[in-house]
Amino acid sequence: MATTQKTASKAEEMVDDAAAAAREASEAAPAAVRELADKTLRQAKDGYARLKSVAEEASDALEDAYATTSKSYKELGRKSVEATRSNVNAHFDFLQALLGAKSVSQAVELQASYARQQFDVMTGQLRELSSLAQKATAESAKPFRDLASRSLRQTQI
């Protein structure tokens, strides 16, 4: 952000220098030329001010989107690790129970029960992770939607 401000300051300084040079040149020119030069200068300053404003808004939107995306995907990563840890623990519990099986039929029953249970658990985890990913995507796009909406309203005014 500091670099953007430095660049903006340099650009403003250049516009002011150009304005001073134009004023000096216009003082030596006839009135009609002076008016045209002043009008052109005002339009250039107005254009620069609008451009600067739009660039600052876009920069702010980008920073907001980055912060939101970072936070959202950190949460998504945390939930992923949590799901993996839960699944690994469930698998080790299953293996321990399987080693304690007294017969083949008991082992098959344990396997079927574990498979059903893990299917349900993983389905829930997938839903939760999918929901978090959709939320992260929507939240990351929000600063840009807001910027586009503001820009659209400004062009309609």
Q: How far apart are CA 60 and CA 68, in angstroms?
A: 12
pLDDT of residue 92: 95
Reading the chain (157 residues) residue by residue, the pLDDT tens digits are 556 667 767 777 877 777 777 667 656 667 777 788 788 888 888 888 888 887 888 888 888 888 888 888 899 999 999 999 999 999 999 999 999 999 999 999 999 999 999 999 999 999 999 999 999 888 888 888 887 887 777 766 5
- Residue 10 makes CB contacts below 8 A (sequence gap 6+) with none
Range of the domain at 111: 2-156
pLDDT of residue 3: 64
pLDDT of residue 60: 85
pLDDT of residue 27: 66
Q: How far apart are CA 55 and CA 61, in angstroms?
A: 10
Domain count, the chain: 1
Residue 102's H or E segment, with its range, is none
Span between the terminal Cα atoms of the chain, in Å: 29
In this prediction the pTM is 0.60
